[in-house]
């Protein structure tokens, strides 16, 4: 029996107590579609919800949740506009179509049976309630377990308040966590001092775990005496606040008071981080005269030992995180120190530097590491962009951040979120207070106008890949015109390049060729060499392939692949491999085409680049049909069809890009018949992306005999059309600098 999919985290320590609550939640999940677990911060809501989800994910309930049990952590989201994107990310849905996130979620969940755990929504309770209501109405197989400090107040919602642990469970939890921090004879959970401590902490799990962490240095009796003192010193919160809130605040405050001054200072400064962070970020953001660089690591280690900071492994390497309640307490102290704005700016400056470094290093052998680094930093990048956009006169910094992240938006499957931030950074209400610059005036290396132009061409690029040609043309024409006015030759070249890309995807190959040659010539004059430039060369090669000039296209791709071999670049290489494979298929070299596509599919899948992946899948289907396996070709076409629904218009709505699909469909249908062909396409549509990639990489079936190919090159329909145009078109040498004028500049 296949395992139920999902993204629930593994438990790192023993789950203690809560047997009755666990049974009740499990029972209610069999009765209602929306179940909300509410309680004070630190009472253990998240842990119990995850434990419940792990329990119902068992094999005997596979039919109920055949499409998985998924956790969406929302506590770091502050912008209501990102709520849908956060759910899209949690469900691992890749979508480049330009559709609103809510529409993407509806489409994804419409025919699925799954449990979605929403954790930490209280700062966005109204937009979250609206989204949940909408999804439950349109997705009959969806069930939601919400976790927060207050209910969503929706029709059909069943609310379960989570009380503190019973005395018995609290003592068991404290004794269990004591073994983790103070190995030796186990504490007696029935000991009077242990019971008294648990009662004084009101059975709140977070408070118990913070207290257990102190057993490295103190006995239970010493902790009790210090709690007496600290409770007296720290009166809990404002008048009218729940006693449990005051108790938790006191417990955290007591832990804070037991920290050394340097630890308290670092705790406060760490509160500016919105998600996982690494040591280098801590050293830059938090160090200062009161906290020297060389001491940061040791102080951070003490906070980890006291459970104030959690260390975790990630694809980007070791990262650190603070629990939300602990972070909020530190933020209050940072406010009390009147240092919040300065620390937020230091935080912003670090992530601006990180993004700049990542853009440069993207053109290297470290692309996979850079993608993982950007993934890990995303919550903090959001916080940094937000600070830029909410601060008068700093829109250009937000434009710099969003524009510099082009490699992440376009290369790592983040088109929708990228467009969200690009449009916000360019919005008139954000940038109206920006000072205008005269031509040649620059600041911070790039300048206000330079940052805006970069954000414009990146927005145009993202819109092209989403199939929104109107928005793309608007952004790119504005960029080109402003670049000409200010004398920014590089921004002008990028605008011309992306207009060439738009012509390519809309099927106007002669115009695509002219614009791409013009852009490449400008890049050469300016000394620009990076992944974007190599992509332009691959795109030019593709325009030549579609016009039948295979030799020139293969030569261009060979040059791209050689540069990629030298630099270690893989993303642009994958597109050159696709063009090379198309040329190989056209010449009847099926084995060569498959080998090239296999590498391209692998790279696209690694980077979650759905645009490149679906193009390669379509061509792989045609190669598979020509190898003598039309049934498998139909499966791959079905899998590609499912991917196109996330990308946007199938085959970009272009007859040119649709030609391989049509030829494959015609050949497969001739052999299989319409009914069998349709059944295999439906089988492919049901495959999740990872399974589709696995099928594409499986290779030709053993013993398959490809049909005999006619001698000479096969001429796909786009090439035949191109032959009729060649007597009217004059090709300039690749990268002719003169072409930056004329149509390219018009």
Residue 61 CA: distances (Å) to CA of 112, 491, 671: 15, 56, 41
User: With a threshold of 0.75, does the pTM exceed it?
Assistant: yes
Residue with tokens 């983790």: 180
| pLDDT at residue 285, as a whole number | 97
CA distance 72 to 82: 13
Q: How buried is residue 137: exposed, middle or buried, by Cβ count under 10 Å (0-12/13-18/19+)?
A: exposed
Q: Report phi then psi at 313, rounded to 5.
A: -90, 145
Q: Report phi then psi at 384, rounded to 5.
A: -65, -45
Q: Report phi then psi at 681, rounded to 5.
A: -60, -45
The larger pLDDT score, comparing residue 745 to residue 220, is at 220
Q: Does position 274 have pLDDT exceeding 90, yes or no?
A: yes
User: Residue 727 in contact with residue 508, Cβ under 8 Å?
Assistant: no
Closest Cα partner for 4 from 94, 70, 48?
70
Its sign, for the CA torsion 667, 673, 674, 677, is negative
Confidence of residue 38 (pLDDT cuts 50, 70, 90): confident
Neighbours of 606 (CB within 10 A): 17
User: Residue 502 in contact with residue 472, Cβ under 8 Å?
Assistant: yes
- Region 376-395: mean pLDDT is 94
Q: Does position 9 have pLDDT exceeding 60, yes or no?
A: yes
% pLDDT > 90, the chain: 58
DSSP element (H, E) containing 311: strand 309-314
Confidence of residue 233 (pLDDT cuts 50, 70, 90): very low
Q: Does position 238 have pLDDT exceeding 60, yes or no?
A: no
CA distance 734 to 655: 25
| pLDDT at residue 324, as a whole number | 78
Residue with tokens 């005036």: 441
- Region 722-741: mean pLDDT is 39
CA distance 415 to 462: 6
Q: Does position 588 have pLDDT exceeding 60, yes or no?
A: yes
* Chain centroid to CA 65: 25
Neighbours of 716 (CB within 10 A): 21
Confidence of residue 703 (pLDDT cuts 50, 70, 90): low
What does pLDDT average to over the chain? 85
**Stretch among 13-27, 237-251, 355-369 having the lowest mean pLDDT:** 237-251
Q: Does position 726 have pLDDT exceeding 60, yes or no?
A: no
Three-point CA angle 20, 24, 27, nearest 5°: 140
Q: Does position 729 have pLDDT exceeding 80, yes or no?
A: no
User: Count of residues for the chain?
Assistant: 746
Q: Does position 710 have pLDDT exceeding 60, yes or no?
A: no
Three-point CA angle 466, 469, 474, nearest 5°: 120
User: Residue 588 in contact with residue 562, Cβ under 8 Å?
Assistant: no
The pLDDT tens digits for 131-182 are 999 999 999 999 999 998 888 999 999 999 888 899 899 999 998 888 887 7
For residue 129 the two structure tokens come to 């309630």
The larger pLDDT score, comparing residue 615 to residue 324, is at 615
User: Residue 398 in contact with residue 389, Cβ under 8 Å?
Assistant: yes
- Region 507-530: mean pLDDT is 95
- Region 225-241: mean pLDDT is 47
DSSP 70: E
**Stretch among 119-128, 350-359, 452-461 having the lowest mean pLDDT:** 119-128
User: Partners of 317 in the beta sheet?
Assistant: 314
User: Residue 685 in contact with residue 642, Cβ under 8 Å?
Assistant: yes
Confidence of residue 444 (pLDDT cuts 50, 70, 90): very low
Helix or strand or coil: residue 120? coil
CA distance 717 to 650: 18
Question: What residue spans of 11-115 are helical by DSSP H?
Answer: 19-29, 45-56, 83-90, 101-109
| pLDDT at residue 673, as a whole number | 94
| pLDDT at residue 288, as a whole number | 93
| pLDDT at residue 229, as a whole number | 52
| pLDDT at residue 737, as a whole number | 36
CA distance 544 to 554: 9
| pLDDT at residue 235, as a whole number | 35
The pLDDT tens digits for 409-436 are 999 989 989 999 999 999 986 655 555 5
The larger pLDDT score, comparing residue 534 to residue 445, is at 534
CA distance 95 to 89: 10
CA distance 540 to 517: 7
DSSP character string of 211-248: HHHGGGT--HHHHHHHHHHHHHHS--SSTT--HHHHHH
For residue 542 the two structure tokens come to 């593709």
CA distance 135 to 140: 9
Q: Does position 208 have pLDDT exceeding 90, yes or no?
A: no
The pLDDT tens digits for 101-110 are 999 999 999 9
List Cβ<8 Å contacts ≥24 apart for 506-509: 506/469, 506/652, 506/653, 506/654, 507/654, 507/655, 507/656, 507/657, 509/543, 509/546, 509/547, 509/656, 509/718, 509/722
The larger pLDDT score, comparing residue 645 to residue 273, is at 273
CA distance 516 to 521: 9
Q: Does position 22 have pLDDT exceeding 70, yes or no?
A: yes
The larger pLDDT score, comparing residue 447 to residue 12, is at 12
* Chain centroid to CA 630: 36
Measured distance between the N- and C-terminal CA atoms of the chain, rounded to whole angstroms: 62
The larger pLDDT score, comparing residue 491 to residue 60, is at 491
Confidence of residue 78 (pLDDT cuts 50, 70, 90): confident
| pLDDT at residue 433, as a whole number | 56
């Amino acid at each position: 029996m296949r395992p139920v999919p999902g993204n629930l985290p593994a438990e790192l320590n023993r789950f203690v107590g809560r047997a009755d609550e666990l049974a009740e939640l499990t029972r209610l999940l069999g009765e209602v579609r929306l179940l909300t677990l509410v309680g004070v911060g630190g009472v253990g809501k998240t842990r119990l919800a995850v434990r419940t989800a792990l329990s119902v994910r068992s094999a005997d309930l596979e039919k109920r949740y055949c499409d998985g049990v998924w956790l969406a952590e929302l506590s770091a989201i502050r912008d209501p506009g990102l709520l849908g994107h956060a759910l899209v990310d949690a469900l691992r849905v890749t979508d480049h179509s330009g559709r609103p996130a809510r529409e993407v979620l509806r489409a994804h969940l419409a025919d699925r049976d799954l449990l979605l755990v929403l954790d930490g929504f209280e700062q966005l309770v109204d937009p979250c309630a609206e989204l949940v209501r909408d999804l439950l109405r349109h997705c009959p197989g969806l069930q939601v377990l919400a976790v927060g400090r207050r209910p969503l107040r929706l029709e059909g919602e069943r609310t379960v308040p989570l009380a503190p642990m019973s005395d018995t469970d609290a003592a068991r939890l404290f004794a269990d966590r004591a073994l983790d921090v103070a190995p030796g004879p186990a504490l007696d959970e029935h000991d009077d001092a242990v019971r008294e401590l648990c009662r004084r902490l009101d059975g709140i799990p977070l408070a118990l775990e913070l207290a257990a962490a102190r057993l490295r240095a103190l006995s239970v009796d010493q902790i009790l005496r210090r709690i007496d003192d600290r409770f007296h010193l720290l009166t809990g919160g404002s008048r009218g606040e729940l006693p449990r809130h005051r108790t938790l605040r006191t417990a955290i405050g007591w832990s804070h008071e037991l920290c050394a001054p340097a630890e308290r200072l670092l705790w406060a400064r760490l509160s500016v981080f919105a998600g996982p962070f690494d040591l280098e970020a801590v050293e830059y953001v938090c160090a200062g005269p009161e906290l020297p660089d060389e001491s940061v690591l040791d102080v951070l280690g003490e906070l980890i030992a006291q459970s104030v900071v959690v260390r975790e492994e990630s694809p980007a390497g070791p990262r650190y995180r603070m629990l939300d309640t602990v972070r909020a307490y530190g933020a209050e102290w940072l406010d009390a120190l009147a240092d919040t704005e300065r620390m937020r700016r230091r935080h912003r400056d670090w992530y601006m530097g990180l993004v700049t470094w990542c853009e440069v290093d993207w053109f290297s052998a470290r692309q996979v590491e850079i993608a993982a680094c950007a993934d890990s930093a995303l919550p903090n990048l959001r916080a940094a962009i937000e600070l830029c956009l909410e601060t008068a006169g700093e829109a250009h910094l937000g434009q710099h951040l969003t524009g510099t992240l082009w490699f992440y938006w376009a290369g790592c499957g983040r088109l929708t979120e990228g467009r969200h931030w690009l449009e916000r950074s360019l919005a008139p209400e954000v940038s109206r207070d920006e000072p205008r610059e005269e031509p040649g005036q620059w600041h911070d290396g790039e300048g206000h106008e330079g940052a805006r132009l970069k954000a414009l061409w990146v927005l145009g690029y993202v819109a092209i890949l989403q199939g929104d040609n109107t928005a793309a043309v608007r952004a790119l024409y504005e960029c080109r015109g402003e670049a000409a006015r200010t004398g920014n030759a590089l921004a002008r070249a990028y605008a011309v390049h992306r207009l060439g890309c738009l012509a390519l995807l809309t099927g106007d190959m002669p115009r695509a060729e002219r614009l791409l040659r013009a852009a490449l010539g400008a890049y050469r004059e300016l000394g620009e060499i990076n992944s974007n430039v190599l992509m332009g060369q691959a795109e030019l090669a593709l325009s030549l392939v579609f016009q039948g000039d295979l030799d020139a296209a293969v030569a261009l791709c060979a040059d791209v692949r050689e540069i990629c071999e030298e630099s270690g670049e893989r993303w642009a290489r994958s597109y050159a491999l696709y063009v090379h494979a198309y040329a190989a298929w056209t010449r009847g070299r099926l084995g060569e085409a498959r080998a090239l596509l296999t590498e391209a599919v692998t790279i696209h899948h690694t980077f979650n680049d759905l645009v490149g992946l679906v193009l390669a899948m379509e061509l792989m289907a045609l190669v598979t049909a020509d190898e003598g396996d039309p049934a498998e070709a139909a499966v791959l076409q079905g899998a590609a069809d499912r991917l196109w629904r996330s990308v946007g218009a199938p085959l970009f709505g272009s007859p040119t890009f649709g030609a391989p699909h049509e030829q494959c469909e015609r050949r497969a249908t001739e052999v299989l018949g319409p009914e069998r062909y349709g059944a295999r396409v439906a089988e492919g549509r049901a495959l999740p992306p990872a399974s589709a990639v696995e099928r594409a990489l499986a290779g030709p079936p053993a013993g398959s005999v490809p049909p005999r190919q006619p001698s000479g090159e096969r001429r796909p329909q786009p090439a035949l059309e191109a032959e009729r145009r060649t007597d009217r078109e004059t090709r300039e040498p690749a990268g002719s600098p003169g072409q930056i004028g004329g149509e390219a500049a018009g």
